[in-house]
Amino acid sequence: MQQQMETVQAQLAARTVEATSGGGAVKVVAKCDGSIASIKIDPQALNPSDAQLLEDMIITAANQALGQAKDISNTEMGKITAGLSLPGMM
């Protein structure tokens, strides 16, 4: 089971999800290991007077991407630990 978990963790580290906000003005790609892989901002969204709006769009997209990544990670790890009662897992 340990080897299976390590394999799944390696696969999750390579798997990515994408989320956007602001009608696609901000795109965040997150890895399923819980890290952010990239953030892309449409140059048209770079208006200094709208900095707060841009910050909010980045936070929204990042949280959506990380949420998707966490769901995938929990699902994949749950397949391995299904039926086991392991303290601290899930």
The verdict on residue 2 lying in a domain is no
Q: Which helix (H) or strand (E) holds 22?
A: none
The verdict on residue 37 lying in a domain is yes
- Give per-residue pLDDT as tens, 2-16: 888 888 888 888 899
The verdict on residue 87 lying in a domain is no
For 65, other C-beta atoms within 10 Å of its C-beta total: 25
Whether the CB-CB separation of 2 and 81 falls below 8 Å is answered with no
Largest interatomic CA distance in the chain: 54
- Give per-residue pLDDT as tens, 18-55: 999 999 999 999 998 889 999 999 998 888 888 899 99
Number of domains, the chain: 1
CATH number, position 29: 3.30.1310.10
pTM equals 0.73
The verdict on residue 85 lying in a domain is no
Task: Name the 3-class secondary structure at 41.
Answer: strand
pLDDT band at 76 (very low <50, low <70, confident <90, very high): confident
The verdict on residue 28 lying in a domain is yes
Percent of the chain residues topping a pLDDT of 70 = 91
Domain range enclosing 53: 18-79
The verdict on residue 90 lying in a domain is no
What's residue 90's pLDDT?
Answer: 47
The verdict on residue 56 lying in a domain is yes
